[in-house]
Structure 1
Amino acid sequence: MTETTGTFVVTHAESESAVVRDVETAQVHTLASNPGLEVHDVLEATVAPDPPLEVTWQVVEVDDRRSIDLVDSDLEPTQLEKELAADADIGDLIQEERAGTGEIHVFRVPEDEVEAAAQDVLDDEETVARAARLEAVRVEVRRSPEDGVLSVRYLPD
C-alpha cells in the first residue's frame, strides 16, 4: 500500500481512531489515531499506511480542513425550485448549478413522503461526500409537503 492524496470525509470518529472515505473513489481508510477529527469533517489530505503492520492508516499531511453543516431548514423551496419540479415526474432529480459555486438538487416525491425523504437526505453519508466534491460547507434541505417538492442546496458558505 502507498500513500493516497485526495478529499476525504470523516464518517466515524472516536477519541482513539477515525474512519475517512475518499469522496472520489469511495475507498475507506481506518485511521490508527484521531488527530482531532469529527464526523462530517472534510480533509484535503494525504494518508499513508501506519507502520509496522500497515492495516490502519495515518494522516501525514492536511492541506485543508472544513466541516459540512447539515441544515434541516424550516424554509420552503424557492419559487425557482418549485418551478423546476413542476414538470418533473415523481422520483426525478433536477440538478441546477448555482451562480458562483454549489448546486441545487430538486426532487419530486409523493406528498406523504416528503418528510421521510428529507430525513433520508440528511442521514445519507453521500450527502456529505457530494458536498465535499462540490466544495460546499453547508447543505440546506428545504421541503414543501403540499407540493411534493424537496430541495437540497449545496452552498459554499
Structure 2
Amino acid sequence: ALLAWQQFVPGQTEANLKIAVFDPVSGRVTGEQLLHKHLQYYTYNVTWMPAIERYLLVGVAKGNGFADLIDTTGKVRASISCMPATVREAGITVNQNVAYTPAADGRLLQLQAGPDALTLSATLLNTDGKRVQWRPVGSTGLLRTSGAIDWMSLTEK
C-alpha cells in the first residue's frame, strides 16, 4: 500500500506531502520521502490503478495541481507538475488506465496513464456543458457500466 500524508510545517500555512510504502504482511514501512513542498492542506488524494499496477496521487502545491504516477516501490514513474488545481477532499475515479478528479475551476480532469506515462488528456464539463460548483468537503465518482460517471459530493449540512 502507498501511504500519503501531509506534514505540518511550523510557522507556515502550507504542508509537506510525504509518502512511504507499507507492506501489510511484514508490517514494515519503507521508502519514506518528501514528494512535494507547499501543499495546500487537504488537497491531495491517492488511488490504485490496477490496470497499470501504479498508484496515482493528485494534489495542489504552490497553487497548481499536480499528478504523480508511483510504482509499488515508491518510485515516481511519471509526473505532471502544472495542471488545474484539484478540489479539497475530492476523490479519484478510475476506469482502466484513465482517472478522473474534480478541478477547482468547475471542470473534471481526465488523466491518461500507462506504467511510465501520465498525461492530462481532457478537462470535461458536465452533461449540460456547464462548470460544476464542487463542494470542498468530500466527493467521489461512481462509474456506471455505460462508462458515464455520477459524481457525488457532500455538503456542509
**Whose helix proportion is higher, 1 or 2?**
1
Higher relative CO (Cα under 8 Å, sequence separation at least 6) belongs to 1
Judge same fold: TM > 0.5, yes or no: no
The alignment's TM-score, normalised by the length of structure 2, stands at 0.25
**Whose strand proportion is higher, 1 or 2?**
2
